[in-house]
Each structure stands twice: as structure tokens, then as C-alpha cells.
């Protein structure tokens, strides 16, 4: 029996023993539904996969069994994205509770340090703790706006979330292990979730990031106040703030300091930002996220008079410093104000512009700045549709009546 088959059958058995899938979906509707989402069509017959049936169906657009994005108006205005609304993009099948076992016994092997060690999750919890808000964003968020139709989920804005994580700082682990070996240039993390019959070169999610990123990184066991759900990479996930989602390795089992980048497919050839028609490891990897923003309200229409335009902005590894909003597709701009808690440089800020609009048609766009850089007008064309932060494509056409 393959590992994947085991996952599915154990889930089926669990559900059969306690509640039907239909029962689960119906019960979820007891939780109040945001008005904004109440009218969303639930795309066709495709429901939530059983391994993530606790999600809120009406907050999500389901692209595939391994990819679902948050509706643009379902991230809310509370800075932190509700967990039941958060997007999912999995390269490996989600691990089952049976595969994970006792979460506190989950193991992390640390290599490329003076005194290599293996920690249990319980030991990491006792070593040191940090809590940070970060943006989790798929490298391909915004892919749906590319005209050459790159392969992959056609995300618009919803493969992104702002979440609060708690974990053990990598710096505390490094210190406890006597420091990094000399010559190390990368922090390399590998998941422990690959079904064993697969070829690691092709299927292991092992990602290297520049070693400087380890200073703010941590291995997390909690998100938004609960244990990290299996479908989001629990019990233990690497969090590298400001870096694209793929670097935030799920089910981390190995943390290594290495002289070279990993040579698995997910590092060497995937997640490279290459010109259309070209590929290879010579192109930049999806590492630090660029500055980005988008409008979340109003989505389609508004009443004339006072209108509150709002959205989110973030700067990747730099703090978002300002956002401008245009209602005429970028001809003229007004400065928006930030509202809501400032959760640190790796979180997004909510912005609002209170303005007066007469009846008519408007194209509302936003442009954020961070660390002296602003969003470009147009997307950077690339083969797989990665790292899109052009402001024009992210605009919304609004009718004011």
C-alpha cells in the first residue's frame, strides 16, 4: 500500500466513524458567513477535499485537489486572515494524523552546524519561542493575469494570507548547536512528507535560501492560535519571513547549513523566474517577495457619495511605507491611509481611502512602496507567471450608481 493510499483510506475511515462528509459541510455553515461571500457561486460540483473539510467552502475558489485560493473579498479587514479562508497549495499529499503520530515527538534533524543534533518538537518548545506575523504567498499568485497562459493554478490575488506563527527561532537552534560550519552559504530545509516510493531528486521539497535569511526564520508549530493544521504543513513548518511560500517548507524534518543550493527539482529547475520559452537553474529562484498591494473593496459596485476603498499592502522583506490609490486607472493618485494594527514589517497593512464618487465607471488601482521601491505598472513577463506585482492587472472595474 502506498503512503498516499494510506492517507486517503485513514481519512475515509475516520469520517465514516464519526460523521459524513455531507454532515461536515452542513455543520460548517453554522459558522456565520461573511456577507461579502454569501453570494459566491460554489464552482460546480467540486467540494472541499476531505482532508481539508474544515475550510469554509464559500471563502475559496477550488482550482484543483491541491490548490484552492481565497476569494478576493474573503481575507477580511482584520489584518490576520481567518484560517478557514486561507489558500492551500500542496506539492506533496497532506500528511494524516496517523502518519504524524504524537506531534510533540516530531523530529527535526539539524546539520551543517558544529554539533549536529536531532530535536523533538517538545524540545524545540522548551528551547526558545518567538511569535511573528508574516505573509504566506504562492510564487504564482497573480498568474491568472498573464496573457500567455502559464501552466499552473490560475491564481488572481487569493494565494496569499497574513498569518501569526509561533515557533523556535533558527538562531536559538544554531546557538544550541555550537554555530554554523564554516563555508555555509545557504539555509536548506527539507520536508518529511514525501511518499517513500518517490525519487527525492524529483519529488523532495527541499529549498535553499541565502544564509542571511536564517536570522529572522523560525520553525513554527502554531498558526493563528492553533496547532498548524496538517494541510498547512503541521506539525512543524519552516517560516522564512518575506520569502515566497515554497521556501516556508512544510513538515520540516531537516534543517541544514550548506555550501551549495539543494539539487532537487524543486530547487534546481522549478520556481525559477525565466523568460517565456526558457528554463534552467541559471535564472533567479523565487526567494524574496517584491512589494505588492491590491484593493479588496468595493469589488464591483458602490453607491454614489462617500465611498470607502480599502485593500492590503506589503513589502516582502521590507516594511510597506505608503500606498497610493487611483480611481481613474492610474492617471491621478491619492495617498491612502493605513488603518488597523501594524503587525511588523513582514505583515501586510490594511489601507483605506475615503473619497467621494459620482455615478459612473471607475478603474480602481493601488500602488504600494517599500524600501524605496514602488510596484511597477506592468507585470514582468516570465515563463511560469511568478512574482507578479504590476499594479495595472490587479485593478478592479467598479460601477457607481
By CB under 8 A, what part of segment 292-351 binds its own copies?
Answer: 302-303, 305-308, 310, 339-344, 347, 350
Query: Rounded to the nearest whole angstrom, what is the least distance from the CB of residue 23 to its own copies in the complex?
Result: 4
* Binding positions for its own copies, 242-301, rule CB under 8 A: none
Least distance in Å: CB of 335 to its own copies?
A: 16
The region of 111-119, 223-231, 287-295, 383-391 touching its own copies under the rule CB under 8 A is 223-231
The single residue among 90, 153, 154, 230 that binds its own copies, judged by CB under 8 A, is 230
Give 105: exposed, middle or buried? Use CB within 10 Å, 0-12, 13-18, 19+: exposed
Among 81, 188, 247, 366, the residue binding its own copies under the rule CB under 8 A is 81
Listed residue (289, 297, 195, 206) closest to 250, CA to CA = 206
Contacting residue, 65, 263, 328, 354, with its own copies by CB under 8 A: 354
Say if residues 269 and 254 touch (Cβ distance below 8 Å): no
Count of positions (residues) in the chain: 401
Answer for the pair 307, 355: CB distance below 8 angstroms, yes or no. Answer: yes
CA distances from 368 to 95, 98, 167, 309 (A): 37, 44, 30, 15
Give the binding-site size for its own copies (rule: CB under 8 A): 72
Taking CB under 8 A as the binding criterion, the range among 77-85, 148-156, 269-277, 392-400 that sits at the site for its own copies is 77-85
The yes or no reply on residue 43 touching its own copies (CB under 8 A) is no
CB-side neighbour CA atoms (13 Å) of 187: 28
| Torsion region of 88: left, alpha or beta (phi above 0 gives left; psi -120 to 50 gives alpha) | beta
Among 1, 18, 45, 115, binds its own copies (CB under 8 A): 18
Q: What is the footprint of its own copies within residues 113-172 (CB under 8 A)? A: 122, 125-133, 164-166
Smallest distance from its own copies to CB 230, Å: 7
Residues 234 and 221: beta-carbon distance below 8 Å: yes
Amino acid at each position: 500500500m502506498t503512503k498516499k493510499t494510506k492517507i486517503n483510506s485513514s481519512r475515509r475511515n475516520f469520517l465514516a466513524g464519526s460523521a459524513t462528509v455531507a454532515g461536515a459541510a452542513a455543520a460548517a455553515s453554522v459558522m456565520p458567513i461573511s456577507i461579502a461571500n454569501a453570494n459566491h457561486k460554489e464552482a460546480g460540483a467540486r467540494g472541499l477535499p476531505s482532508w481539508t473539510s474544515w475550510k469554509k467552502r464559500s471563502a475559496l475558489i477550488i482550482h484543483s485537489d491541491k490548490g484552492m485560493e481565497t476569494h478576493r473579498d474573503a481575507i477580511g479587514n482584520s489584518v490576520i486572515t481567518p484560517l478557514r479562508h486561507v489558500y492551500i497549495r500542496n506539492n506533496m499529499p497532506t500528511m494524516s494524523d496517523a502518519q504524524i503520530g504524537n506531534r510533540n515527538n516530531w523530529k527535526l534533524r539539524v546539520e551543517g552546524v558544529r554539533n549536529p543534533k536531532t530535536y523533538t518538537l517538545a524540545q524545540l518548545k522548551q528551547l526558545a519561542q518567538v511569535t511573528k506575523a508574516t505573509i504566506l504567498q504562492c510564487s504564482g499568485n497573480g498568474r491568472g493575469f498573464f496573457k500567455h497562459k502559464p501552466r499552473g493554478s490560475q491564481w488572481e490575488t487569493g494565494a496569499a494570507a497574513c498569518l501569526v506563527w509561533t515557533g523556535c527561532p533558527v538562531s536559538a537552534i544554531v546557538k544550541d548547536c555550537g554555530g554554523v560550519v564554516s563555508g555555509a552559504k545557504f539555509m536548506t530545509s527539507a520536508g518529511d512528507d514525501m511518499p517513500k516510493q518517490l525519487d527525492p531528486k524529483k519529488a523532495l521539497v527541499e529549498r535553499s535560501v541565502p544564509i542571511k535569511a536564517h536570522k529572522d526564520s523560525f520553525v513554527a508549530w502554531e498558526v493563528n492560535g492553533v496547532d498548524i493544521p496538517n494541510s498547512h504543513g503541521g506539525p512543524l513548518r519552516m517560516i522564512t519571513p518575506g520569502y515566497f511560500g515554497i521556501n516556508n517548507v512544510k513538515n520540516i524534518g531537516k534543517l541544514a547549513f550548506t555550501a551549495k543550493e539543494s539539487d532537487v527539482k524543486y530547487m534546481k529547475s522549478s520556481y525559477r523566474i525565466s523568460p517565456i520559452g526558457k528554463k534552467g537553474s541559471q535564472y533567479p529562484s523565487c526567494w524574496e517577495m517584491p512589494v505588492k498591494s491590491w484593493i479588496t473593496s468595493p469589488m464591483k459596485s458602490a453607491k454614489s457619495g462617500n465611498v470607502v476603498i480599502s485593500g492590503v499592502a506589503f513589502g516582502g522583506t521590507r516594511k510597506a511605507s505608503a500606498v497610493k490609490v487611483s480611481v481613474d486607472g492610474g492617471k491621478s493618485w491619492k495617498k491612502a491611509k493605513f488603518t488597523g494594527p501594524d503587525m511588523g514589517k513582514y505583515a501586510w497593512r490594511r489601507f483605506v481611502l475615503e473619497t467621494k464618487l459620482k455615478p459612473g465607471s471607475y478603474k480602481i488601482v493601488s500602488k504600494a512602496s517599500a524600501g524605496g521601491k514602488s510596484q511597477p505598472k506592468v507585470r514582468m513577463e516570465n515563463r511560469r507567471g511568478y512574482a507578479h506585482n504590476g499594479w495595472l492587472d490587479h485593478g478592479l472595474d467598479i460601477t457607481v450608481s
